[in-house]
Structure 1
């Protein structure tokens, strides 16, 4: 019974532990960020040894990884999952385990990473359950892996999923191997480093030791781990193999040449996609409109699936296959976008890019520098970047995650290095105008919305996630925030399939129980939505900076016509908070028998640093207090 239970637990845990990258080129670090509470199980000691060794004719250099980990159970009987990751260019050689010094049999499960049991990656996991019989049990594991190509050996993190009392990392670089080991975020981390020479192996040995390491902590809205944790960044430059000189990534040209070769090996059939491309643009006259049409069609008709397939996630799928299946990862979608544009005679290129999740840029020649692919097209001296994985964002609008990031553009045997344009909050505008009147205990009137950029993308994404029968019904549910008292009727929208123009929504509103009457006085809350009222950041438990999803401007105006025989008794005070990174504003005005309420929220910079938390929280509390204010009306 326990065996079956452990197998079930392992299956569940393996599914939870497999990293689900936002985009298909997310490269797994040596230790993915997986958080566990450290109260019961800790790592007493962990030793990792990475050694460059001679390989075979096809792959002249391998990296052998040996890991020995000793765990201790502090409180109660426990079983924990032990997992390691590998792919087509790595393999697990051996797995051993001991409990209180006694060797135990382990039969690791090997699984593909799957999504909905349909799509798979070449990323695999090997795992088993490690038992702790009782309190103070010490269990030990030894795992040996081989990475068949040193290009894929990129980073080593010090933090583990459990509190770690002692950690030692050794990197052995024979003199026939040229590799660079960079120390990242070591300041204040208490890591000791030493370099020695092993004459027997004719190798340089880099040794790092650390004590009392807190575990990885996964937090919503946190920067990627490359910003947060001490780690080693490894770049393999070249090797003197028996077959001659092997060149890896000594510089950016080497990195680009490898990317370009993989892309060039894809057997695209341009003629197979040309008919579809021609049909998409048949009603368009200008070249720019044709490019927009291809881009929008890709967004709407090719489903983005974050999976890796082939050459450890770096080689795009064939354009004709993505078109036929109607789904693809970022590489496949970028490749199909390029091929359809090229079939129409446009100068379209593949691009490699690291999203804001990654702290590095292309000054570092390593696969750890990027995690995404898009398409660029040159037209009349201007470069247009197309990321079809962003389903609902308009042409020449860019998601926060790629804005300002370096982009590596294919250019034959050479490369072109550029940057994605930076956008301000003005790209992402959201306005709401309400014209209301009081009818007993309810507010009634008309409402109009206008949205652009990532505000449009966010709304449409949420609406499509909750859609059950009709898109209009889902949109009403979203706009009412599922409040049964907020009734929407006669809704009219612009084309919900065209996000290259402003999204417009108009409807008639009845907001029940929105007016309170006490004697001769009426009280009305003018703000229904109260955006960001719950945006206070936990300063006790949160460890990392908080990154908001995107820059934005939200503006609301509500005009309330006073009922016959009533006048304003009091209006709430104005709110004016204007910080360098954000602004919160609210004001009330009594004019010509109307009360006009205006609110504006601006996010200029999405990165709220820990040093900003106290000010941010104080300002959010002021915003929340403003939301609680009511206008007071009294009979004349």
Structure 2
């Protein structure tokens, strides 16, 4: 949890009214940042203090958080948003502000965090606009906040939404509190630590200071904040109190026990979902087919809506509630999947997992370690993982975001650790075969596509975004790239509602103005799609590594029949880029009165490091140049 009451700039204000589209259960450890770095404001000074204090009978330990921030306006008069998130386990105590030295009356607005009019359960937002009188003036805020359960105090980031000239973070840990602090990503940031002892509080005091901290930067395809920015992980193990020892997260068993206590308290009515489950599998004869049927039904009939923060971030909605409403977050969807399968007699279990967005694994017992829940079902000695939030991916296929990730599998009071299977690029395969002929300035013929894995998910997600009805028309728009010169007719597809088999699409093509004639010569450009021609990385502006969406293999073959009376004058040179993480190939061959064009793109590893950007860009330039080459035909 990013526990400081942060001033999150313009993008965060938008987050107040337009919640994030995270694809799984997310914690507030996600560092928000403006899309474009602002130079109008800097944080001249920020001081944060976190102190463990005695709480009440229900929650014996609280964390008192105070922060003071001085903003300076550099360029022009403007107001900026100041926002914070809180929930049933935290509260905002006081907010004060000063503008150019004068006390400013704060009128904070409190809202539930909502998406499409569906509230984020107990997640709430408090925010107001902080003005600046003119260039060179300063405004200041002081904020107090209480977290009433130290489990939720787990992450403190040093980055802010603006350049920070000076920052101080102080953590006060009384000797009766057993807490561990782990420093993450400190290298190269010049952060200094001074340890001291406060005799009056009988507490150890950890004071971190840093200067000139660059703002966090949101970039498409960037690793999650836990990989990028300096931060502290806080592990609250236990606390001694007059009533005895309160145990929090001293080890993974403690973490799992808390998770299990939450799911055990969910009042599932298994009988309420059993009839639906039975109807789904009534025509299925094998156990595996029944599991597949439940999984596919969940993907197609239960809409994913993200919830976050507080107990809503960790405790699932009841299975019957998700079934009735036809929507849920990842926890609710995993819970309903588990209950449906269990009602049919299967050994189904809930699982906790951190997606690739998170840098940690379960060696770190903290709520920051995971952000997602799925279901596992054990059958004949094998474990199958079911993530119904992945709407269009097949059974036993796994999204890049969870492949290879450590997973915590529940089993009553016990747990098991496993890993989601890794998949190669072969899971996500996309082929296109075209047979074309020249008719005047047109190319006509047929095309056949076959897609699997995340390639299927990508195309089905895209056509549903184009329009929710008339999927055939949306598919035509997608395949033609909405180019009215590329006409598709007589389209035939496999079942668009069955993604457990390859997606197959066949159709007839008329590509107008695809052939240029000059005297006795014809010029033909055979690659219509030009995949990844815009994949170069702006190295001047990009700060972070780039993660491609998923591993994949793309194979395209186009056979062009030579028109009567013509022969090949020249064919484009071959492209052969073969790097450890990717391959780009393109070849042309003349054979039996035809020109055969073959292209293959393979992404073996999705993670591109900044040191590899120059080589990547050079290879993308080669690919782009290959796309510009044309076949030259001349009269015999």
TM-score of the two chains, using structure 2 as the length reference: 0.97
Q: Distance in 2 between matches of 1:522 and 1:31?
A: 55
CA contact (8 A) 1:87 1:312 kept: no
1:279 aligns with 2:288: no
Q: Aligned partners of 1:215, 1:613: CA distance in 2, in Å?
A: 22
- Consecutive unaligned residues in structure 2, runs of 5 or more: 1-8
Q: Distance in 2 between matches of 1:594 and 1:391?
A: 41
Report if the CA contact (8 A) 2:237-2:247 is conserved: yes
Structure 2 vs 1, CA of residues 312 and 284 (structure 1 numbering), >3 Å: closer, same or farther? closer
1:73 and 2:73 are equivalent in the alignment: yes
Alpha-carbon shift at residue 99 of structure 1 (Å): 1.2
1:338 aligned residue: 338
CA contact (8 A) 1:51 1:65 kept: yes
Change (3 A) 1:189 1:339: same
The gaps in structure 1 that reach 5 residues or longer are 1-8
Q: In structure 2, do the counterparts of structure 1 residues 317 and 604 end up closer, same or farther at CA, with 3 Å as the change threshold?
A: same
Q: Following superposition of structure 1 onto structure 2, how do residues 197-208 of structure 1 map, counting pairs within 5 Å?
A: 197-208=197-208
- Quote how far apart the aligned CAs of 1:121 are: 3.1
Kindly provide the CA deviation profile for residues 343-371 of structure 1, in whole angstroms up to 9, marking residues without a partner as x. 00000000000000000000000000000
1:126 partnered with 2:123:
no
Q: Residue 122 of structure 1: CA displacement?
A: 1.6
Could you say if the C-alpha distance between residues 202 and 21 of structure 1 is closer, same or farther in structure 2, counting changes exceeding 3 Å? farther
The whole-number CA distance in structure 1 between the counterparts of 2:18 and 2:234 is 23
Equivalence map 1:480-559=2 (5 Å): 480-559=480-559
Match of 2:27 in 1: 27
Deviation at 1:10, TM superposition (A): 9.0
Output aligned runs, 1:176-255, within 5 Å.
176-255=176-255
Q: CA–CA distance in 2 between the matches of 1:312 and 1:453?
A: 31
User: How far did 1:539 drift?
Assistant: 0.3
| Partners of 2:43 and 2:165 within 8 A in 1 | yes
> Contact 1:36–1:162 (CA<8 Å) still a contact in 2?
no
**Cα drift, residue 104 of structure 1:** 1.2
Q: Can you list the C-alpha shifts for 1:265-318, whole angstroms capped at 9, x where unaligned?
A: 000000000000000000000100000000000000000111238614110000
Map of 2:448 onto structure 1: 448
Taking a change above 3 Å as real, the CA distance of residues 19 and 11 of structure 1, as seen in their structure-2 partners, is closer
Corresponding residue of 1:314 = 314
More displaced stretch, 16-25 vs 454-463 = 16-25
Deviations 1:4-49 (A, max 9, x none): xxxxx99993446765152442110285344563311110000000
Distance in 2 between the 1:19 and 1:242 partners? 42
Query: 2:587 aligns to what?
Result: 587
Report the CA distance shift for 1:123/1:468 in structure 2 as closer, same or farther (over 3 A): closer
State the Cα deviation string for residues 148-199 of structure 1 (Å, max 9, x = none): 1000001000010001100000011100001111000111111011111111
Shift of 1:120: 2.8
Contact 2:179–2:236 (8 Å) recurs in 1: yes
Distance in 2 (CA, whole Å) between partners of 1:568 and 1:16 is 62
Distance in 2 separating the partners of 1:398 and 1:318: 26
SS at match of 1:126: strand
Structure 2 Cα separation of the partners of residues 389 and 15 of structure 1: 22
CA contact (8 A) 1:571 1:588 kept: yes
SS at match of 2:585: strand
1:254-333 alignment runs, 5 A limit: 254-308=254-308, 311-333=311-333
Give deviations 1:229-273, integer Å, cap 9, x for gaps. Answer: 000011110001222110000000000000011000000000000
**Quick one: distance in 2 between partners of 1:552 and 1:50?**
46
Aligned twin of 1:5:
none
The alpha-carbon distance between structure 1 residues 565 and 582, as it changes in their structure 2 partners (threshold 3 A), is same
Quote the offset at 1:84 in angstroms. 1.2
**Are the equivalent residues in 1 in contact too, given 2:82–2:127 (CA < 8 A)?**
yes
Q: 1:227 to 1:497 in 2, by over 3 A?
A: same
In structure 2, the CA distance between the partners of 1:31 and 1:69, relative to structure 1 (3 Å rule), is farther
**In structure 1, C-alpha distance between the alignment counterparts of 2:135 and 2:317, rounded to whole Å:** 51
Q: Distance in 1 between matches of 2:165 and 2:401?
A: 36
Say what the alpha-carbon RMSD is for the aligned residues: 1.4
Aligned residues of 2:402 and 2:420 also touching (Cα < 8 A):
yes
DSSP-derived class of the 1:288 partner: helix
Q: Is 2:13–2:83's contact at 8 Å kept on the other side of the alignment?
A: no
Moved more, 96-105 or 447-456: 96-105
Q: Mapping of 1:356-395 within 5 angstroms?
A: 356-395=356-395
Mean Cα deviation higher: 72-81 or 589-598: 72-81
Tell me if structure 1 keeps the 8 A contact 2:11–2:33. Answer: no
Equivalent-residue separation in structure 1 for 2:323 and 2:595 (angstroms): 55
**Whole-Å separation in 2 of the counterparts to 1:445 and 1:203:** 79
Q: Is the 8 A contact 1:10 1:129 kept in 2?
A: no
Indicate conservation of the 8 Å contact 1:584/1:623, yes or no: yes
Match of 2:431 in 1: 431
What does the per-residue CA deviation read over 1:99-139, in whole Å, with 9 as the maximum and x for residues that have no partner? Answer: 12211111101111101223333211111111100111111
In the TM superposition, structure 1's runs of 4+ consecutive aligned residues that sit over 6 Å from their partners are 9-12
- The answer as to whether partners of 2:355 and 2:402 remain within 8 angstroms in 1 is yes
Q: CA deviation at 1:414?
A: 1.2
Q: Alpha-carbon deviation of 1:502?
A: 0.4
1:47-83 CA deviation, whole Å, 9 max, x = no partner? 0000110001110001010000000111211111111
- Matched with 2:421 is 421
